[in-house]
């Protein structure tokens, strides 16, 4: 590559910031800038007002949710108390069917014991076996 075009390119690059000079603002541009600044201030006011409304709505929603949670908590506490009161009452561990089965088996066992005791405890030969 040649040194000539490269040095020329370097000089142009160094002089380019000086080539872009600012032009004085016209009256139209100044009026437009002030108009945009006013609109920016109005937008900022609207944004703060909307942010405040959003915070108020959030707090209202949270307070409604908090009240609903408190009601649920009270309802659950009452349910726990009712269940604890019901659990403290004595209940039979057996159902009616199981109780009748126990009574029947006790009667059968008692009758077998009475039969053994009534026979005298010794073995007799039965006549019908001969």
Residue with tokens 């405040």: 52
Query: What is the pTM assigned to this prediction?
Result: 0.36
Decide if 107 is inside a domain. no
**What tokens were used for 2?**
């040649």
Task: Give residue 3's pLDDT.
Answer: 62
Range of the domain at 60: 29-87
Q: What does each C-alpha distance from 74 to 50, 79, 84, 100, 120 come to in angstroms? A: 36, 9, 15, 43, 71
DSSP state of 26: P
Residue with tokens 């199981």: 98
Question: What is the total count of domains within the chain?
Answer: 1
Task: Give residue 122's pLDDT.
Answer: 59
DSSP state of 93: S
Decide if 82 is inside a domain. yes
Per-residue model confidence as pLDDT tens for the chain (130 residues): 556 677 777 777 777 666 665 556 677 888 899 999 999 999 999 999 999 999 888 888 899 899 999 999 999 999 999 888 877 766 677 888 999 999 999 999 999 998 888 876 555 555 556 5
Decide if 128 is inside a domain. no
Distance, in Å, from the CA atom of 129 to the CA atom of 123, rounded to the nearest integer, reads 13
């Amino acid at each position: 590559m040649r040194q000539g075009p490269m040095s020329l390119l370097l000089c142009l690059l160094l002089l380019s910031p000086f080539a872009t000079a600012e032009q004085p603002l016209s009256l139209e541009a100044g009026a437009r800038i002030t108009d945009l600044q006013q609109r920016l201030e109005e937008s900022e006011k609207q944004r703060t007002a909307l942010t405040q409304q959003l915070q108020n709505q959030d707090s209202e929603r949270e307070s409604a949710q908090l009240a609903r949670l408190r009601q649920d908590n009270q309802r659950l506490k009452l349910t726990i108390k009712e269940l604890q009161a019901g659990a403290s009452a004595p209940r039979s561990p057996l159902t009616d069917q199981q109780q009748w089965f126990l009574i029947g088996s006790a009667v059968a066992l008692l009758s077998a014991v009475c039969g053994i005791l009534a026979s005298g405890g010794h073995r007799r030969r039965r006549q019908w076996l001969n």
